[in-house]
Amino acid sequence: MKAPSFGLFISLLFLLPLPTMGNGSNSAGNGGDSLSISDQWPWSKRIAESFVLRHPGAVTYDSLSPSEKWNYEQGLMLEALHQMWLFTKDQRYFDFIRRNIDQYVDESGNIKTYKHDEFNLDNVAVGRALLTLSETTENKKYKSAADTLRFQLKNQPRTHEGGFWHKQIYPYQMWLDGLFMAEPFYAWYAKSFKEPDAFEDIVNQFVFIAKHTRDPKTGLLYHGWDESKQQRWANPETGCSPNFWGRAVGWYEIAIVDVLDFLPKNHPRRHELISILRDVSAATLKFRDGKTNLWYQVLDQGKREGNYLEASASCMLTYAFAKGAQKGYLDKNYLTAARESFEGINKYLISVDAKGFIDLLHTCQGAGLGGNPYRDGSYEYYIGERQRTNDMKGYGPLLLAAIELEKAGVRVKSH
């Protein structure tokens, strides 16, 4: 009798219930004890398999995740698995995406837990998974769900010059995070469904927020901007929040490199996005820690008490540098910088358990501005937010960075 294949075993594993995890980290738990991860595999496979085996049932949350709802973390991780599928041609990664989305999208294309009138850009980030499925299956429900998100963007409240509000509950505010949430999906949709005029709007979103949040002294971008200048966190003269949050700048940079995949090569404003990417990348590189080649939670205050080397910012900027250099948007020196930073992540932010599963440490669980309880954007606020292990906001970019470096044929030393 023929032994069951590894692929069949994984497929069966997807059908098991989610393991309960109570230690604050998304550890292998019951989902991964029966299999191991080889240290001879490429980094991308070690990372992807660690995630997939820890998430049986094709779910993208664990017992301590912020939300089981349709959310941007899910969108980020599914996009990383989409790129892994394209890179390896391993069907299991595509199957994970489809099984996950099918838990949220019914046969009529309705999205479970989604609310249009929240006008929340975070909810648009899963749209790329819908387009992945729409383009590779015959089921029309995925296109219908993607249309719902496109309809949201058509009605999204805007600043006076045309920038998307981050959410209905944050009026007149643009956050760097929102560029990743909305623009890559928006650009892909525009390319696929022949909306050439949308590209002007997409470029404008990047230009507007860079214009308002860029600090002329450092070249870094502040986390958020309040056009009304009414928020307690807003500078009364500029409307900017008071600090440079590492992950916010990371969101912005990876949004640019991903949008450029869809923006037409001959678009007259393509050079503006590339110029912004070069400018922000040069600024962030200057604030990289010299010893570890990583980035701090608050980018420009590495020596200040309480600050720490933060995983999601480090992984996002590594990914942006690697992809930017690969695509020719950034100088090839950034590929070297990406390798150095990935090695720093490996040395200082990754631990490997007895089964070979990859744990990514020190990801800030979440940070925002305003709301209730009120988040004032202070240094003390950012360093005081909870840290998680294997948070998808770090794990997804870790996988994306590994893929880009391997595409470039870059060998990353292990420690």
Q: Which residues pair with 221 in a beta bridge?
A: 214
Residue 24 pLDDT greater than 70, yes or no: no
Q: Are 53 and 35 in contact (CB under 8 A)?
A: yes
Token pair 């503006």 is found at: 272
Q: Are 307 and 322 in contact (CB under 8 A)?
A: no
pLDDT tens per residue, range 204-235: 999 999 999 999 999 999 999 999 999 999 99
Mean pLDDT for 114-126 is 98
Residue 39 pLDDT greater than 70, yes or no: yes
Residue 373 pLDDT greater than 80, yes or no: yes
Known active-site residue 376: no
Residue 25 pLDDT greater than 60, yes or no: no
What's the pTM?
0.92
Given 177, 201, 226, 258, the catalytic residue: 177
Amino acid 68: pLDDT: 83
Q: What residue spans define the domains of the chain?
A: 68-156
Residue 6 pLDDT greater than 80, yes or no: no
- Among 164, 323, 206, 191, residue whose Cα is nearest residue 254: 323
Amino acid 66: pLDDT: 53
Amino acid 412: pLDDT: 80
Q: Are 311 and 318 in contact (CB under 8 A)?
A: no
Type of residue found at 87: F
Integer Cα distance of 95 and 136 in angstroms: 11
